[in-house]
Amino acid sequence: MLRHILDHTPELEGFGIRVGVRLGGCSGMNLAIEFTERPEEGDITAEIHGITTHVSPVAAPYLEGVVLDFDPSPDGVGFTFHRAEPPDGDAEAEGGDGTAFEV
């Protein structure tokens, strides 16, 4: 879905995503995602599934083993972060419909 949004939104040409943390939620913080043209100072940058991804150094420890997923169903919540549970101990977790994005 991220690739679709980036490919079909002309004003996002050349953009990637940035994953960070924001205060709030039950645990005191929430993971947050935003479209961005460039990293912020100190960000960790990688190309993941063809999308330039910047990760805040504060968020990095919280993202170990986390998957960004998208639920397209009418009852779905859109993008969600969840802990990867690799099948049979496999190190690479993937969504069944190919919409998962491991950070």
- The CATH code of the domain that includes 82 is 2.60.300.12
pTM for this structure?
Answer: 0.72
Give pLDDT tens digits for 37-47.
999 999 999 99
10 Å Cβ neighbour count for 17?
21
Total number of domains constituting the chain: 1
DSSP states along 6-42: HHT-GGGTT-EEEEEEEE-STTSEEEEEEEESSPPTT
* Domain residue limits at 10: 2-102
pLDDT, mean of residues 27-45: 88
